[in-house]
Structure 1
Amino acid sequence: MAKIAYILLCHKDPEAIVKQAERLTAAGDYMAIHFDARAKPEAYKLIREALADNPNVTFSRKRIKCGWGAWSLVQATLYAVEAAVEEFPRATHFYMLSGDCMAIKTAEYAHHFLDSNDYDFIESFDFFESDWIKTGIKEERLTYRHYFNERTHKKLFYAAFNLQKRLGVSREIPHDIQVQIGSQWWCLRRRTVEWILEFTRTRKDVMRFFRTTWIPDETFFQTLVRHLVPETEVQARTLTFLMFTDYGMPVNFHNDHYDLLLSQDFLFARKISPEAVELKARLGRLYAAHDVDFQISNEGRSLYKFLSGKGRIGRRFAMRFWETESTLGRERELLIVVCKKWHVSKRILEQIRHVTNIPCIEYLFNEEGTPLPDLGGIQSSLEKRTRHRRALMRMLFEYYETDRLLVCMDPSNLDLLHDFFSDRSVTRMLHVECEFTDEYLIGHAHRVGLAGERTPQATLERLLPTIRNDIVHEADRIRDAGFARHYRVHQSDSPEENAGKFQDFLTIPPDQALRLAQTDHLFAD
């Protein structure tokens, strides 16, 4: 059975560290602690005294002062790992933690998971080929020597960096290693950890190299694991659930995130807010529990992206048009059916094809698989279609040899609507406003990845008002835009009322418009 030795790097809140150690070791696991040498001596003394009688806790033989982005974080980890390997011969796995991490599964679940998955779990992606680094320097982390900490000695850091750049004194990476990058929150098997420690003793050239790289805790273990362990035995993922804001800061979890955290396919989560006292208490009791059934839905990141993307007033990240293209043509008429329920729009298009000769195209800016003719590659992806939207539409007019073309769009495509309505061509819009049941909204959440089959009902109930308000807001934005030739049909209106809107939108005879409005099950889900 798996026995975990937790490697804990910490620098503050000694009382919380003691509680964390007591919780995790009470289930039979172990812990090796490195407490930052910068911290107050009395804080370290408190931890040592409180855990002195716990045989499942040990401490690094050496303590050093740690700095963000510096080699000291790796060295401190190695000291704690060495202590754990020596002190706990029965430990099968070594799990990297911080003081802000807490278990979101039971010890029973964690042990069974590791027994069933004989892998090393560590994010490790090719340093040069991946896009893991979003901002800041990249290759220069490795090719120049970094003797100063950018956080504490910014001027010296960049002075040394620019001097090396000016003199051209870059260095080569050790020839037999392929540098990897990823999260520092890993879980490694005992054999792997022993190989790493042996490597540190024999490959002094690699150690010298990493000592002067920048942010080596994101590259050192990641590189060595891939160098030492067969690829088939490595899972390039972390078992610690963490998210970052669009500003690169870790997301904090609060009291109302309990159910969300338990449904994620991870063993731990960080960061738990210091103020989340209730959450800490519930998670603390959880680790020692037995026979807990976890319903894994794993929708946490997509939920956060959806909700945070709405911004301070509830809305954010609208698309931008960075380029403009020439007109579709004054003599042409673009008809746009806008509807949140895509199946309803497609049903309407099918009926329009029967009563008119207008070429109809479904959600070409929303669905990758929308059937389109070969237009030389411009139609090949959603990104290309959106970027070259006017060129695409001109080519479609020409392909169908028509001056009237009908397309479907989602209400979220407001910037597309603004762009087409600003064109010299005649643009008409029919907004099909549907009613949304809770059942439909739950299905919508599943379809777009905001929820999974096992998402707890309580999570769905909190999510539904946000989704409903989002749909209402999209409709309000379209109304507020004041588009000319904007017609609306509504599910609750009679076929006769809606027929007049179809007639004005398509400029067709009244009998044809009524046939459209009387389509069987037009608004059915």
Structure 2
Amino acid sequence: MARIAYILLCHKDPDAIIAQAEQLTAAGDCMAIHFDARASAAAFERIREALKDNPNVTFASKRIKCGWGAWSLVQATLNALQAAVDAFPRATHFYMVSGDCMPIKSAEYIHDFLNQNDVDFVESHDFLESNWIKTGMVEDRLIYRHYFNERTQAKLFYGSYNLQKRFGLTREIPSDVQIMIGSQWWCLRRRTIEMILDFLQKRPDVKRFFSTTWIPDETFFQTLVRHLIPKTEIDNRTPTFLMFSDYGMPVTFYNDHYDLLLSQDYLFARKISPEAHELKDRLGQMYATEGMTFHISNEGRNLYSFLTGRGRVGRRYAQRFWEAGNSLGPEREVFLIVSKKWHVAKRLVDQIVSETDIPCVEYLFNEEDTSLPDLGGIESSLAKRTRHRRAVARMLFESFDSNKLVLCVDPADLDIIQDFCSVQARSHVLEIECEYSDDYLIGHARRVGLAGESSPRESVARLIPALRSSLVHESELIREAEFDGYLRIRETNSNIENETAIAEFLGVSLDKAQAIMSLDYLFAD
């Protein structure tokens, strides 16, 4: 039966630490606490006094001053680990948490999960080959010695670093160890922890090497687990749910994130706001609940991107200058059908193909598997098509041997519409205005990854106002752009109104437009 020893690194808010320890040990688990030596002795004594009668809580034998990106964080973890190994001989797993972490599954669920998965949960990617590090130094973290804290001793940190670079004072990485990198939030089995502690006794050179690397909490345990444990016994992911903003800062969770957090395929989450008292209380009560069912949908990251992206201007990269200079030719005509309901646009396109000789391509810049003629390879990648959209359109004109081309476009792609309307060609825009029921919006949320199939309907329903507002905003932006030749058909319009718009859009007779619009289920979901 799984029994967890939580390894808690913390540095503030004694009351919250006490509550966290009591909650996590109430189900029979235990905890080893390292409270940063930078914090006051009075705060530490308050924690010790409040938890002194809890047999499932112990403390690191030595408190040290911790600094971001420094070895001190790893040493503090090792001190707490040794205390936990000594104090809790029946602990089967050791789970790294901070004072900002809270469980998002019940103790019963977590214990069952660990019983069923006899592996170590640690994110570990090849340090040099992976793309885990997005910006800043990579190899230099390892081959130079970093004695100073980058945040509190910036001048010394960069002075020492630049001096070593100038004189070529590099060092060798231990030859028998492959450096790995990943999240510092892990859950390791007892045997793994004991092997790590034993390895460090035998290999002080490895510990010495990591002690002067930069940000070793992202590499130390990640490397040693991979070095000591077979790959088949490692689940390469963190069991703790965390997200980062566009600026590389951790996303903070608040009271209204309860349902979202419980639906993620993780055991814990960070970082919980210190002010989210209601969320902490609910998660604490949930942790002690038995027989609870969790509906895993894992839409958190997509949902966050959607909600934080709303209202921004200039969300997409602009096209290259050489793209903007491309011309399709003044004799050619581009007909853009803009619709959020792709199935409606595709039905209309089928009708246009059957009633006219105008070639049509469905959602060329949105769907990977759009049916296309051979364009020499550029058609094989959605990214290539989008990046070189004018070149693709020009090749389509040539492939179809036509001066007319109908393309379907999602209303979110305003930049694409603007691009085609600015070329030396005649451009026409037809927006299809549809009605959106709540059921459709819920389905849309699931299709685009804002919700999972198992997400509770009441949770998804909370997205409906934001989704509806987003769709309205996309339409408003298109109308405000005042494109020449802009027309619109509506689900609520009369037949004659829509037929007239189609006739003007395509430049066909009213009879032909009536034939195109004769599909009685055009707007049906």
Contact 1:309 1:315 (C-alpha < 8 Å) held by counterparts: no
Structure 1 residue 314 displacement after superposition: 5.7
Q: Kindly, what percent of the aligned residue pairs are identical?
A: 63
Report the equivalent of 2:122: 122
Partner Cα distance (1:406, 1:56) in 2: 69
1:223-262 pair list within 5 angstroms: 223-262=223-262
Partner Cα distance (1:316, 1:437) in 2: 29
Structure 1 residue 315 displacement after superposition: 5.6
Partner Cα distance (1:24, 1:337) in 2: 56
Partner Cα distance (2:121, 2:309) in 1: 30
Gaps of 5+ in 2: none
Selected match of 1:318 from 316, 319, 333: 316
Q: Which amino acid aligns with 1:337?
A: I
Mapped pair 1:427 → 2:427: yes
Partner Cα distance (1:379, 1:155) in 2: 51
Report the equivalent of 2:478: 478
Partner Cα distance (1:479, 1:319) in 2: 22
Report the equivalent of 2:175: 175
Partner Cα distance (1:420, 1:394) in 2: 11
Q: Which amino acid aligns with 2:496?
A: E
Partner Cα distance (1:89, 1:265) in 2: 29
Contact 1:329 1:424 (C-alpha < 8 Å) held by counterparts: yes
Structure 1 residue 97 displacement after superposition: 0.5
Partner Cα distance (2:291, 2:151) in 1: 46
Mapped pair 1:97 → 2:97: yes
Q: Which amino acid aligns with 2:355?
A: V
Contact 2:183 2:238 (C-alpha < 8 Å) held by counterparts: yes
Partner Cα distance (1:259, 1:354) in 2: 48
Report the equivalent of 2:81: 81
Structure 1 residue 495 displacement after superposition: 1.5
Q: Which amino acid aligns with 1:362?
A: E
Q: Which amino acid aligns with 2:315?
A: F
Secondary structure in structure 2 of the residue aligned to 1:440: helix
Partner Cα distance (1:72, 1:136) in 2: 21
Q: 1:464-487 CA distances to partner (integer Å, 9 max, x unpaired)?
A: 111111111101000000000111
Contact 1:93 1:188 (C-alpha < 8 Å) held by counterparts: yes
Partner Cα distance (1:326, 1:72) in 2: 56
Partner Cα distance (1:66, 1:319) in 2: 40
Q: In terms of mean alpha carbon deviation, does 476-485 or 9-18 score higher?
A: 9-18
Q: Which amino acid aligns with 2:5?
A: A
Mapped pair 1:509 → 2:495: no
Q: Which amino acid aligns with 2:210?
A: F
Partner Cα distance (1:83, 1:197) in 2: 12
Gaps of 5+ in 1: none
Structure 1 residue 454 displacement after superposition: 1.6
TM-score (norm 2): 0.98
Q: In terms of mean alpha carbon deviation, does 338-347 or 169-178 score higher?
A: 169-178
Structure 1 residue 355 displacement after superposition: 0.8
Partner Cα distance (2:170, 2:209) in 1: 12
Partner Cα distance (1:163, 1:29) in 2: 49
Q: Which amino acid aligns with 1:197?
A: L
Secondary structure in structure 1 of the residue aligned to 2:380: coil
Q: Which amino acid aligns with 2:181?
A: I
Contact 2:179 2:223 (C-alpha < 8 Å) held by counterparts: yes
Q: Which amino acid aligns with 1:270?
A: R
Query: Deviating runs (4+, > 2 A) in structure 1?
Result: 313-316, 322-325
Contact 2:255 2:277 (C-alpha < 8 Å) held by counterparts: yes
Structure 1 residue 316 displacement after superposition: 6.1
Report the equivalent of 1:304: 304
Partner Cα distance (1:384, 1:318) in 2: 15
Q: Which amino acid aligns with 1:258?
A: Y
TM-score (norm 1): 0.98
Partner Cα distance (1:75, 1:373) in 2: 60
Secondary structure in structure 1 of the residue aligned to 2:185: coil
Structure 1 residue 457 displacement after superposition: 2.4
Structure 1 residue 319 displacement after superposition: 4.0
Secondary structure in structure 1 of the residue aligned to 2:379: coil
Secondary structure in structure 1 of the residue aligned to 2:337: strand
Partner Cα distance (1:338, 1:211) in 2: 57
Report the equivalent of 1:6: 6
Structure 1 residue 318 displacement after superposition: 3.2
Q: 1:22-60 CA distances to partner (integer Å, 9 max, x unpaired)?
A: 111111001001111111001111111111111111111
Mapped pair 1:443 → 2:443: yes
Secondary structure in structure 1 of the residue aligned to 2:260: helix
Partner Cα distance (1:64, 1:4) in 2: 24
Report the equivalent of 1:329: 329
Report the equivalent of 1:52: 52
Q: Which amino acid aligns with 2:17?
A: I
Partner Cα distance (1:285, 1:519) in 2: 55
Q: Which amino acid aligns with 1:370?
A: T
Report the equivalent of 1:363: 363
Partner Cα distance (2:316, 2:212) in 1: 42
Count of aligned positions: 523
Report the equivalent of 1:285: 285
Q: Which amino acid aligns with 1:255?
A: N
Secondary structure in structure 2 of the residue aligned to 1:521: coil
Report the equivalent of 1:219: 219
Partner Cα distance (1:141, 1:446) in 2: 41
Report the equivalent of 2:68: 68
Secondary structure in structure 2 of the residue aligned to 1:245: coil
